[in-house]
Structure 1
Amino acid sequence: MDNLAKDKTSKLLVKYSIPAIIAMLVTCLYNTADRAFIGSMEGVGAYAISGLGVTMPLFTLIGAFGVAVSVGGSTNISIKLGAKEKEEAERLLGNTFALELLGGFVIMVLGLVFIDQILYAFGASAKTLPYAKDYMSVILLGAVVNLSGFSLNGAIRADGRPKLAATIMIVCSLLNLVFDPLFIFYFGFGIKGAAIGTVICQLINFIWTTYYFTKGNSNLKLRLKNIRLKKEAVIAILTISITPFCMEVVTGSIHLVTNKFLQGYGGDLAIGAMTTITSILLMFLMPIYGLSQGMQTLIAYNFGAKEYERTKKILLQGMFAAFVFLFIGFLLTRFFPDIFVNIFTKDAVLEKICLEGIKIYLMTLPLLGVCVLGPIYFQSIGKIKQSMFLTLLRQVILFIPIISVISKFMGMKGVWMSQPLADILATIIITVFLVREIKHNKINNNEYNKVA
């Protein structure tokens, strides 16, 4: 077994990060292909991808509920398993499943009843509404199997089978790459076909994970008697769910705010351009999120062991790796932007807007390693308040005031510039926080060594 407090930090960082990076890359591949297929729809691709952009706030909010309940449920299940309370763990499994079923049903009904009003509120126009509605109506129909299947996948990790949980996600993502072109082009369903492919994969995940907990060789079993809401279990789940739910809601809110400014200053195709550019951004950010997962385990362990120099070393090695990777991404998108844009659209008008925006919006790409890994460092050492503040700093505390002010004076160019300006300020502030924390840990380390 690895000695997390003694083995070479660079070796550990590679070993613990690579699996998460691979999983993130597969997810990124699915998202990229999904949007690329939609953007390549002949004659309507530009407005179709703009319609997809309109759905992002709602899509994120649905995911917020699913992720939050899944995290709350799997964390409580792990605690009960650690305490050898298997029966209570199974009760929590049933309650998590029931909560996701109920939430999925409520989201489906309310979403379908008020779909036009919701999409208009999120930036749809007469031109983009048909595409947004075609896509989102199918996604909403699949909300029940999506959310409940997602919670069971998380529970599989808590059950001690993380590789199986990852395998299911990877298989479903790869199947989606097959289903998307099949339903979009071969069967001629257009953007609705992309949603059908997604929901079929969610159904496969639901069937696979349900089978595992009912007929498979799982440690815990999903029993009918436990699929009912119990006050104590629900409170325990929701208590842990609050933080991830708030973070996901913030992400959805940022999509909403950005869409409003894009629609106001650039129209429908500006939303499509932002959807395209953020898709390109995710190609380079997703591996950094994977890196952060590997770092989190190593920093938390070494901080707990009072190996403060090692925590600093892991942080700096991670940030260096992130900077190099993101700087390569910056160079590629700076000198070959058309190659990336053409993955998602061949529409001349949309392409022109994308090429104007990408050079401004991604100008601070190399700095994002600090913005992503800095808050993760504080989360890893148990300083949740600092982590929450620094996470919200870039996309809420700084971004919203900046875009509100600068867009009034610079119009669409101001919308593109808002995020880079927020990135620069966030990087400076996060660096100050990190330097202070590292100095504080160095003092604690010296005192600890004197006592020892």
Structure 2
Amino acid sequence: MNNTDALREENTLKLLFTYSLPMIIGLFVGASYNIIDRAFIGHGVGDIGIAGIAISFPVMMMGIMAFANLIGTGATALTSIRLGENNNNEAERVMGNALTLLILVSVGFIVLFWIFLDPILAAFGANEEILPHAVDYTRIILLASIFMIVGSGMNNFIRADGNPKKSMFTLLIGSILNVILAPIFIFGFDWGMKGAGLATGISQLISFIWVMSHFFTGKSVLKIGLKNMRLSGHLVGRIFALGGGSFITQMATSVMMIVMNNVMLNHGGSTAIAGMNVVNAVQTFIMLPIWGISLGIQPIIGYNFGAGNYKRVKSILVSAMVLSTVIAVVASLFIYFIPGSLVAIFNQNEELIQFGSHAMVIFLFFTPLLGLQIVGAGFFQALGKAKQSIFLSLIRQVLILIPLMLILPPFLGLKGVLISGPISDFCSAAISVTFVVFSLKQMQKEMIQEQDPGSRTKSADFHESNT
């Protein structure tokens, strides 16, 4: 039994842990690396170095990861479905198109930002003091961005190929190597911001080599071929449509943070901004394992959906929603009972602790429901249902949270920002569950129709219309 056969035959609960746990570990390691890397820069370069990273991060890393996920997750969803249909040739064609897109996006990204880097960084808040440090770091990251975008995007196919642990090692290799190289370059060679950028660039190059080598081994089901890299308009459209949810989520997070910071500044000042940033950091930490579950189940669901194993699709989805909800409930106990202690991890200022703990309890009140929306959006992406995936990715932040943060504060002040969180979480979870239940009922009708070919219902086109 090869790795993809396990997707069809292995116990679904075991598959859930096999695919989700490596993603969760990788995400946590990546998040920890970001914190450690900033600590090195803070000690080696100073506050001005941290400010330079803060300016560069939204411009470079969010853009890099957003485009990598746009192409990588969209193409992987389609690839998993084709593998489930035993259509390996078409699966490799999808992957080949994705590789071409990743390369083209990388080159375009490098050229555009290289030419307009200074004004872009200035537009994101770099003053004359910060700009040189931000430029030193960002130019090196730019040169390495092709390895980041292609490596990160193609790493999704390692999971689709039935190798979740190897996909996890991609994240571990880059993070651990960066942590080793950064202090050597920053402190040992006294290269400052350039050293930090070089450490990241080298780490991503090694990760890229690790990822690409997978597809040239005899153990890989998916192979890279030049003939498959010729772009197909139909496939490109499907890839962008299916990856749109992941792309929108990352872009929406950036927009939400900008809106929230401005609203908090107008109604509460710097303490309010700091407090809500702590709240968002805690929420992000809680969401990491849920994101890991959502990403982990996608190759399993996509493969079994393509194979017509709808009972397994339902089983893995229900297990994922239950597990993500349990994680969120446990995390909520800390939010409800010791919010002050969580805020104190970030800062000991009494005023900040008081506001942050109050804000955390209110804004994150419906944290137990987070998994329903996140896993729900991932479920539809895995099915190849682009419209539903994009809509569910939009509702929480773009359609509900951001409008509420703009509408409520003029009437309710800071309280308006705080209550916008639970309102958006509850509404988005309710809508997601409604979509999921309807989709599962459609699958049930499809199963009945397949058992009785003489009966024809609308659900008979359920599979074909979404792949």
- TM class by shorter chain equals 0.7 to 0.9
CA distance in 2, matches of 1:359, 1:176: 36
The question of whether the paired residues in 2 share the 8 Å contact of 1:319 and 1:373 is answered with yes
CA distance in 1, matches of 2:154, 2:386: 27
Superposition deviation, residue 403 in structure 1: 1.5
C-alpha spacing 1:446/1:62, structure 2 compared with 1 (3 Å): closer
CA distance in 2, matches of 1:270, 1:342: 15
Residue in 2 that maps onto 1:32: 32
C-alpha spacing 1:209/1:334, structure 2 compared with 1 (3 Å): same
Deviates more, 1:184-193 or 1:105-114: 184-193
CA distance in 1, matches of 2:147, 2:376: 35
- 3-state SS of 1:114 partner: helix
Residue in 1 that maps onto 2:16: 16
Superposition deviation, residue 193 in structure 1: 5.4
Superposition deviation, residue 422 in structure 1: 0.9
Q: Deviations over 1:309-364 (max 9, x none)?
A: x7555544433322221111112234444554565567888767655543333222
The question of whether the paired residues in 1 share the 8 Å contact of 2:369 and 2:429 is answered with yes
Superposition deviation, residue 287 in structure 1: 1.7
Is 1:203 aligned to 2:205, yes or no?
Answer: yes
Deviates more, 1:386-395 or 1:160-169: 160-169
CA distance in 2, matches of 1:46, 1:335: 37
Residue in 1 that maps onto 2:392: 390
C-alpha spacing 1:99/1:378, structure 2 compared with 1 (3 Å): closer
C-alpha spacing 1:324/1:404, structure 2 compared with 1 (3 Å): same
Q: Which residue identity is paired with 2:247?
A: E
Percentage of identical aligned residues: 28
Q: Which residue identity is paired with 2:28?
A: C
**Aligned CA-pair RMSD:** 4.7
Residue in 2 that maps onto 1:103: 105
Q: Which residue identity is paired with 1:243?
A: L
Residue in 1 that maps onto 2:257: 258
- 3-state SS of 2:390 partner: helix
CA distance in 2, matches of 1:47, 1:407: 34
The question of whether the paired residues in 2 share the 8 Å contact of 1:36 and 1:344 is answered with no
TM-score by length of 2: 0.73
Is 1:248 aligned to 2:247, yes or no?
Answer: yes
Superposition deviation, residue 202 in structure 1: 0.6
Residue in 1 that maps onto 2:58: 56
C-alpha spacing 1:290/1:167, structure 2 compared with 1 (3 Å): same
Residue in 1 that maps onto 2:70: 68
CA distance in 2, matches of 1:106, 1:154: 22
CA distance in 2, matches of 1:251, 1:381: 21
Residue in 2 that maps onto 1:291: 293
C-alpha spacing 1:440/1:324, structure 2 compared with 1 (3 Å): same
- Any gaps of 5 or more consecutive residues in structure 1? none
- 3-state SS of 1:170 partner: helix
CA distance in 2, matches of 1:323, 1:91: 33
Superposition deviation, residue 227 in structure 1: 10
Residue in 2 that maps onto 1:400: 402
CA distance in 2, matches of 1:268, 1:215: 54
Superposition deviation, residue 143 in structure 1: 1.2
Superposition deviation, residue 255 in structure 1: 0.8
C-alpha spacing 1:197/1:153, structure 2 compared with 1 (3 Å): same
CA distance in 2, matches of 1:213, 1:53: 36
CA distance in 2, matches of 1:106, 1:62: 12
Superposition deviation, residue 307 in structure 1: 5.3
Deviates more, 1:358-367 or 1:437-446: 437-446
CA distance in 2, matches of 1:386, 1:169: 29
C-alpha spacing 1:69/1:37, structure 2 compared with 1 (3 Å): closer
Deviates more, 1:21-30 or 1:289-298: 289-298
Paired residue total: 443
Superposition deviation, residue 404 in structure 1: 1.5
The question of whether the paired residues in 2 share the 8 Å contact of 1:27 and 1:170 is answered with no
Q: Which residue identity is paired with 1:289?
A: W
The question of whether the paired residues in 2 share the 8 Å contact of 1:104 and 1:143 is answered with yes
CA distance in 2, matches of 1:451, 1:125: 68
Q: Which residue identity is paired with 2:25?
A: L
CA distance in 2, matches of 1:134, 1:152: 28
- 3-state SS of 2:54 partner: helix
TM-score by length of 1: 0.75
The question of whether the paired residues in 2 share the 8 Å contact of 1:149 and 1:206 is answered with yes
Superposition deviation, residue 228 in structure 1: 12
CA distance in 2, matches of 1:416, 1:244: 31
The question of whether the paired residues in 1 share the 8 Å contact of 2:75 and 2:243 is answered with no
CA distance in 1, matches of 2:432, 2:387: 13
